[in-house]
Structures are given as structure tokens and as C-alpha cells.
Chain A
Amino acid sequence: MMRKRRSTVISRIFLAVIFIFLYAPIFVLITFSFNSSKSRTQWAGFTLDWYAELFNDASIMNAFSTTLLVSLLAAAIATVFGTVTALGFYCLRKRWRSPLMAVNNIPLTNADIVTGVSLCLLFVFFGSRLKFNLGFGTLLVAHITFNVPYVLLSVMPKLYQLDRSLIDAAQDLGCTPARAFLKVTVPELMPGIINGAIIAFTMSIDDFVISYFTAGSTVSTLSMTIYAMTRRRVTPKINAISSLLFGAVLVLLIIINVREIRQEEAKKRAEAKLRQGAMQK
């Protein structure tokens, strides 16, 4: 008993140290976003100036809207593309599917920088021959390319879990094959599709390396702007961006988790009710 308690205390201390390690930098970052001086070490008083400056900085705002646009577009296109492809792959014989899935996994397993420079080579090479420049278009294509694999990987398992007799049942009850697809297959795949869309979106938002090599010099994503800022001069505007992003992610994660917990609890309650009912019977 004694030993167990001691091990619990040790593991709690370990957890605390790790979480301090993980969060101290973020805490410092956020704190100094409210610092009225430019110093990154000396506290000089509270201010919201950096936030105001942030919103007045055209290049940052531009980068922000570019990031949002490319992420939304890439995620949406990749979701549709990936889902359609998943259906196609599912119907292929294994002999064909396995090598194709291996190719699909290349962008996932390759280092980002390799994906980035290889696409860069492609775009530059064909750009000079087909008369196009690196820009939003190439950025979008690059994002779709690394997003589709994630969508595919989250939809495929759902397809394999799909009980095919459900589709038989829908047709038996009067659905044409197309209607059965819309009314039964799509709803059944929906969790996988949504999951894939969310992963694709966050991957796009978060990406720096691949964008860096494929966006060219005229377009800039938020990650690229941040990179440029960290290399140029020090400004607490970066801290302000960090705080805002951190806040957004935190809220998002809390919402997702609370929803999951609620759903699980509702399910548990309903199951308990069912058991009770069965016992009374």
C-alpha cells in the first residue's frame, strides 16, 4: 500500500514536470504578448497594442486569409476527392489496391522537405514550359496532394466496417443503387469523412515546409509570414498571434471533447435504462 502511494506521488511529480516543460514556453509567449515594451524578458506593463497592430498589419492579415482560404479549399476538395477515391479503391482487387495504397502513403511517410522540394522541382520545371508561376494555384495543388492521403486513410476503414447487407436492405426497400448510396452508404461513412476533413484542414493550417517550397514569392501563408518574422526582427506581434491561435485551438479542443463526453454519457445512460427495463421484465 505504502509503495503504491509513493509511486503515485512520483508519477504525479513526473507528470507535473512534463507539463511545465510543455506549457512554460507557451505561457511566457502569451504573457509577453501583453507587455508594453518590446523586451522579451522585462515586464513593463499591460497593453493590448500588439493585438491592435496585428490587426492593422496588412501582410499578416493577408497571410491569414490566404491560409484560411487554401486550407478550406484544399480540405474540401481533398475530402470529396479522397472519399470518391476510397470508393474506387475499395472496389479494386487487392493486387491493385496494395501498391496504390503504398504510393498514397508516400507523402505521409516522406519527410516534408522532400515532398516540398520534389513538388517545387515539378512546378518550376513545368512552370517555365507551360507558362505558369508558383503561386496560389501551386500552393493549393500541393496542399491537396498531402491532404488526400489523410482523407483516404480515415474513410477506407469505415468502408470496410460497412455492413453490405445495409445496402441490400435499402435496395430491397425500394432504393435505386444511387439512392441507396446517398441514404445509407454516405451516412455510414460520414464519421470517417468528417474526421478526414478535420485532419486535412488542420494539416493545411499547420503546414509550413511544403507551403514554403511551393507558394513562390508572391503568396505567403501565415506559417511563412511567422517564419519570416522570427528571422527578421523581434516583435511582440508574434506573441499576439500565438496567443490568438492558442486560444482558438484550446476552445476548439474543449468543444470537441465536451461533445464527445456528452455523447458517451448519453449513450451510457440510455444503456443503463435499457438494462433496467430488461430487468423489470
Chain B
Amino acid sequence: MTSKTRFLSIPYVVWMAIFVVVPIIMVVVYAFTAHDGSFTVDNFRGMTDYISVFGRSFYLALIATVLCIILGYPLALVLSREGPRLQRVFVMLIMLPMWMNFLLRTYAWMSILEDTGLLNALLTKLGLPPIKIINTSGAVVLGMVYNYLPFMVLPIYSVVSKLDRRLVEAAEDLGANPFMVFLKLIFPLSLPGVLSGITMVFVPSVSTFAISQLLGGSKNLLLGDLIEMQFLGSAYNPHLGSAIALVMMIIVVICMYVMNKFGEGEETAVVL
């Protein structure tokens, strides 16, 4: 009962206090103070100029997340029906790009989508008119989907592939057609995977700044860009930056909370 081992947790508790808790408190404090350190809510008032950026960030992240579900869910299902050897290979192939730096992956799309890029070269060769895609919000969404699709596929796959075959057989035995099997059995059981996938796609999408800068140009400013500018960029103002980060964090937390309530708050494992 009198175990001294528990004292081993003290160093990390101190570490977390200094490097996790205090920094977040500082964000809150900065958000509510002015340059001279006095209390103010001006930082939040100043944010009204950026409502369009908030709107765009959440809108684009939402579209990217929905697209990831539309592509990722069937992909996970298809994968789980392959033989064990093929499954392993396919899962590896899906993870492989994830292990490559996301800036490089994004850069790859830059050279394809450019006005004089490969895509337009290909279209010209086919006798089609070139399209303007780089520096549009479409390119940003494409970049998000490309970067974060594996984060959607893998959690769903890990749930679906562990689904007991006998459950499907039992449902069929009880008279369910394939559509009903999916609707009544597979989908509800895979929901935790979907929820975890949504979190893993939505959070980085809504807060990204590199993807938008590389593919969206200067017109498609996102929240991430805004925050970055306040800390390291031209518009140096960490108080405003903190306020924006705080508001973003709170909105994300509320979204996740509502979504998890909706999905019966299923706790899901972290999937690498």
C-alpha cells in the first residue's frame, strides 16, 4: 500500500505544470491584456475584422473533413475486405505518404497545380482549356484532403477490420440485406472510428497555416496564418494572436464536445 513508486510521477507533473499548463494560462492572460499589461477586451473586439477568416477556416476545414469521410469511409471498408496480406500492404501504402514531411507533400501539389504546372500542361495536350486552381480555396481544400486523408482512413479501418464477421452473418441470418447490414450494424459500430477520424482531420485543417500559404496564396488567409502573423510575421501582436488562438481553441473544443456527445461520447484509441 505504501508505495514510493508513485513519487516517480512528480517530475513530470512539474514539467506539465511549467510547459503545458502555464503556457495555456499565458495565452489566456495575453488575450485579455494590452501591450502595457493592463486588462482589456479590445483584442476580442479587434477580431471582428477577421470574422471572414474565421468563417473561411471553419468552412474549408469542414469541407475537407466531409470529403475525407466520403473518400475515406469506403476506402476503409474496401480495405477491410481484402485478404490479410493485401490488407497489410495497402495499409502500409496509405501510411507511407504520412511519414513524409507534409510540407514536401504540399509542395508536390504546388508544382502540379501551378498555372503552368503539370495539370494544365496535361489539359492543354488533351486540347482542353487550362484551369485556374492554384491560389484558390479549392487548392487549399485539396491540400488538406491529401494531407489528412490517412488520418480518416486509419481509425475507421482499425474499427471496421476488427468487426466480428459473425455479427454480419448473424444480421444476414436474421434477414438483413447488405444495405441494412451496413446501416444497422457496420455503420453504428464504426462510429467511434469516424469520430476519431473527424477530430484528427478537422483540428489540423482548421489551424493550418502552411497549406494555405503554399496553395492558397495571399487571398486565402486562414486562422493559422493570422495567428502566425501576430507572433512571427509582419503584424507582430501576440496579444491579438493569443486572443485568436484562444477563440479558435474554444470553438474547436465546443465542436468536439458536441460531436462526441452526439456520438455517445465514445472514447477512442489514439491511432498512429
Contacts and interface: CB of A to CB of B under 8 A. Distances in A.
Q: Do A and B touch directly, given a CB cutoff of 8 Å in the complex?
A: yes
A246 B20 contact: no
Interface in B184-236: 199, 203-204, 206-210, 213-214, 224, 227-228, 231-232
Nearest to B81: A11
A208 B111 CA distance: 21
A135 to B, nearest CB: 15
A241 B21 CA distance: 37
Interface in A116-169: 117-122, 124-125, 141-142, 145, 148, 153
Given A22-B149, A121-B238, A199-B272, A212 B232 contact: yes
A153 B75 contact: no
A217 to B, nearest CB: 9
A23 B146 CA distance: 10
A222 B94 CA distance: 24
A41 B116 contact: yes
Interface in B102-128: 102-112, 114, 116-118, 121
Contacts of A121: 23, 26-27, 30, 238, 242
A232 to B, nearest CB: 12
B9 A85 contact: yes
Interface residues of B, number: 82
A230 B107 contact: yes
Nearest to A157: B269
Interface string B1-33: 001011111111101101111111011001000
Interface string B27-43: 10010000000000000
A61 interface: no
Interface stretch (A52-60, A99-107, A271-279): A99-107
Given A40-B114, A107-B20, A245-B100, A26 B108 contact: yes
Contacts of B8: 84-85, 87-88, 91
A26 B204 contact: no
B62 to A, nearest CB: 15
A210 to B, nearest CB: 11
Given A25-B146, A113-B207, A118 B23 contact: yes
Nearest to A195: B272
B133 interface: no
Contacts of A148: 12, 15
A106 B100 CA distance: 25
A113 B227 contact: yes
Given A81-B12, A88-B6, A206-B101, A230 B232 contact: no
Contacts of B245: 113-114, 117-118
A9 B272 CA distance: 30
Interface stretch (B46-54, B85-93, B154-162, B165-173): B85-93
B180 interface: no
A84 B6 CA distance: 10
Contacts of A209: 209-210
Contacts of A103: 16, 20-21
A226 B103 contact: yes
B232 A15 contact: no
B26 A111 contact: no
Contacts of B107: 29, 226, 230, 238, 242
Which of B81, B96, B227, B249 is packed against the most chain A CB atoms within 10 Å? B96
A14 interface: yes
A255 to B, nearest CB: 12
Contact of A113 (B30, B146, B209, B214): B209
Contacts of B104: 29, 226, 238, 241-242, 245
A119 B100 CA distance: 25
B66 interface: no
Contact of B249 (A108, A114, A223): A114
A223 B210 CA distance: 11
B164 to A, nearest CB: 21
B99 A32 contact: no
A48 B127 CA distance: 34
A145 B19 contact: yes
B181 interface: no
A207 B204 CA distance: 13
Given A25-B105, A26-B108, A114-B245, 14 more contacts: A29-B104, A81-B15, A85-B8, A87-B5, A111-B203, A119-B19, A121-B238, A122-B18, A145-B20, A206-B102, A223-B103, A245-B100, A245-B104, A249-B99
Interface of A: 11, 14-15, 18-19, 21-26, 28-29, 32, 40-41, 81-82, 84-85, 87-92, 100, 103-104, 106-115, 117-122, 124-125, 141-142, 145, 148, 153, 199, 202, 206, 208-209, 212-213, 222-223, 226-227, 230-231, 238, 241-242, 245-246, 249-250, 252-253, 257, 261
